[in-house]
Structure 1
Amino acid sequence: MTAPQEPPAVKCLVWDLDDTLWDGVVLEGDTPPPFPHAERTLKTLDSRGILHAAVSRGDHDMATAHLDACGLGEWFCAARIGWGDKSTAVRRIAETLNIGLDTIAFIDNDPAERAEVAAALPMVRCYPAHLAEHLPDRAEFRPAHVTAEATGRRLLYRTEWRRRQAEEEAGGDRREFLASLGLVMEIAPATEDDLARASELTVRTHQLNSTGLIYSEEELRRLSTAPDHQVRLARLKDRFGDYGIVGLSVTELTSTQSVLRLMLMSCRVASRGAGELMLAHLVRQARAEGRRPVTHFVPTAVNRTMLVTLRFAGYVPVTTAPGDETPMVLEVPADHPLREPGSHVRLLVHDA
């Protein structure tokens, strides 16, 4: 019998505004300052790489103007303010930020609003407003890793919001939009400075994740210098800015095989074709070294997209997974053609 799986850490706290973030109703002409304890929670969680968003009743322009007037607008990556169901707004926040609903938390002073969100989205954790000052002390708001990149995560997501606005302005022509981004992906061996972020990725990334293996900094340090392993990181940037480290691969080398023990890619760049590009590079590298490209895959409730990405890259099943702890094994056939990088992205590979 397996132990119940712990829910993932919170990646985004969604705030109600009136009577939760501040004492008053902006639409009724109030101009309340934020509660001091709420402001402390905003800053503390932001320093840990936890995002903030707003879902509230009222007029969008008035509410966001008041956030800016209070000096809080920059702390929020997205806002859905209006009169519809809050569960629908929370779902749209998750879609906007491209993160799982099970990594969303919601705080609201109104028990009826919390109940509506909890009923429609049972995976979202809901908290009453009076707990705002205590949230930083709770385990789900204390990530195992706080890296330099984590503390700048808010800026990355605010930049992503600008990208999404540009995509809407492109009028639905996805190829034209991707070509306009000027994407550059760099793939290189992990260095000492990268290990904390690489370990954090193994904890935080669930959807585009082949096996769910979690590696500590020490384990990655050992594997990155071992002759029978390769640890590679992918970085991505475009004309709007730097996405930072978005992908990780851990490969075990044998005399005949290049076995991908873990491949993951941040959900933030799933729509950029980053996963396919990194896999194509790994297949190309394995063949250049005279090894067969093999990968392991452990299915979960949320990583089916990763299996689709592997199949698109040419991996076909050799075995199926007979149990929860036995991975499926896939291999790229020798006659499968190598995939070339798409014209919308430039690939830079560093061997050392």
Structure 2
Amino acid sequence: MSEQKIKCVVWDLDNTLWKGVLSEESIDGVNKNIIEIVKELDERGILQSISSKNNYEQAKQKLEEFGVWEYFIYPHINWNPKSESIEDIAKLINIGMDTLAFVDDQAFELEEVKYTHPEVLCIDSAKANEILNMDRMIPKYITSDSKNRRKMYQNDIKRNGIEKNFSGTKEEFLSTLNMILRINHATENDLQRVEELTVRTHQLNSTGYIYSYDELKNFIKSDKYDVLVAQLDDKFGQYGKIGLALIEKNKNVWELKLLLMSCRVMSKGVGNVLLNYIVNRAREEGVTLRAQFVPTDRNKIMYITYKFNGFKEIKKDDKVSILEADMSYERPMAKYLKLMYEEVVK
């Protein structure tokens, strides 16, 4: 079984989150120990959702009554197979099935999910008290971004809902968000979140490399490297630190050894903005920019991003491709956001 850290716990309701069965009108309060677990997982930055065979409005009303509705994103309260609901939740959050856990009191439901999605961690609710001590439920670091993760996803849901009803172009919609992208040199205070980004980000990760805290600390202290961190805000609130670039600076060539973006900003075009900013910086310094790309089973979109932004493959050694940017022109910056960056060179 995969040892990926759990990113989302999906809860059953009847005889799990609360005592009794809603459809039988036999609810006798919440399971207080489960609610404490829900709140602690939320503090750790682990997202939570629901898969329950119930009437949606009745269940929502009961969860609001118990004061816990806000803790769950993309709740699936319907009569569909729970394996379908859990797969849908993973797609909506944009995470791998091997980063999901499912908690239920019914052996049939646990087996149905396990059979369809063997990579999902299935937990009998009778053993729920063990959850907080499971290694896969204990993140290496709990950062400010971790603690706000659920709220940031809830803001994403609001944005997406408004976008669905927006009649203009994608760029026109993005212009309404009043986005501000800040690009800064990483400091030691950023390193826990930066390491977390390398661990959690797979689709928009150019190499799949995971850098440790100590490695990153050495990079930021070296004049040979730049570690850039991107943070995004808009009128709905903060996305947090969502992008990272590691640049090795040689005399005539800069090499982009890692470029990654949180999947939450995939549709915002922010990856292109960060990449174009780096190309323009290299042009100003009179050097050529090259980039490493290591294909994984999930990061093909990063290769497309490089090609779309004028990079050509010049070398391939085993699995590592080296791409070189066309340095003949300055990259235009997106008009739908405000770019702020450090002027002072490290």
TM range (shorter): over 0.9
Change (3 A) 1:80 1:263: same
Query: Which residue does 1:277 correspond to in 2?
Result: 273
Alpha-carbon separation, structure 1, partners of 2:296 and 2:114: 23
Identity between Structure 1 and Structure 2 (%): 36
SS in 2 for 1:92: helix
- Per-residue deviation, residues 9-49 of structure 1 (Å, max 9, x unmatched): 11111111112212212233233322122112112211211
Q: What amino acid sits opposite 2:338 in the alignment?
A: R
Q: Secondary structure at the match of 2:109?
A: helix
Q: Does 1:203 align with 2:199?
A: yes
Identify if the C-alpha distance between structure 1 residues 108 and 288 changes in structure 2 by more than 3 Å, giving closer, same or farther.
Answer: same
Match in the other structure for 2:172:
176
Q: What CA distance in whole angstroms lies between the structure 2 residues aligned with 1:267 and 1:228? A: 29
Q: Name the counterpart of 1:45.
A: 41
Out of 71, 75, 78, the position equivalent to 1:75 is 71
Structure 2 residue runs of 5 or longer lacking an equivalent are none
Q: Which amino acid aligns with 1:16?
A: D
Cα distance, 1:220 vs structure 2 = 1.8
Q: Is 2:30 the counterpart of 1:30?
A: no
With normalisation by structure 2, the TM-score equals 0.93
Q: 1:61 to 1:48 in 2, by over 3 A?
A: same
1:119 aligns with 2:115: yes
* Secondary structure of the structure 2 residue equivalent to 1:261: strand
* 1:339–1:103 Cα change, 3 Å: farther
What is the distance in 1 between the residues matched to 2:314 and 2:127?
51
1:154 aligns with 2:150: yes
Take 1:290 and 1:276, find their aligned partners in 2: how far apart are those partners? 21
1:340 — aligned with what?
332
Partner residue in 2 for 1:329: 322
Taking the aligned partners of 1:84 and 1:176, their CA distance within structure 2 comes to 37
Aligned with 1:13 (options 9, 13, 27)? 9
Instruction: Provide the rounded CA distance (Å) in 2 between the counterparts of 1:348 and 1:27.
Output: 54
Alignment of 1:223-242 (within 5 A): 223-242=219-238
Instruction: State the one-letter code of the partner of 2:29.
Output: P
The letter for the 2-side match of 1:349 is: Y
Name the structure 2 match of 1:266: 262
Gaps of 5+ in 1: none
Question: Any idea what SS the aligned residue of 1:94 has?
Answer: helix
Give me the whole-angstrom Cα distance separating, in 1, the residues matched to 2:72 and 2:210: 30
1:173 Cα deviation (Å)? 4.8
Alignment partner of 1:78: what SS?
coil
Distance 1:70 1:189, change over 3 A: same
Using the size of structure 1 for normalisation, the TM-score is 0.92
2:163 aligned partner, one-letter code:
E
Distance in 2, Cα, partners of 1:150 & 1:299: 28
Aligned pair in 2 of structure 1 residues 218, 52: CA closer, same or farther (>3 Å)?
same
Q: What is the alpha-carbon distance in structure 2 between the residues aligned to residue 88 and residue 72 of structure 1?
A: 24
CA RMSD of aligned residues (A): 1.9
> What letter matches 1:48 in structure 2?
R
The separation in 2 between residues aligned to 1:321 and 1:167, in whole angstroms, is: 43
State the distance in 2 between where 1:158 and 1:9 align: 21
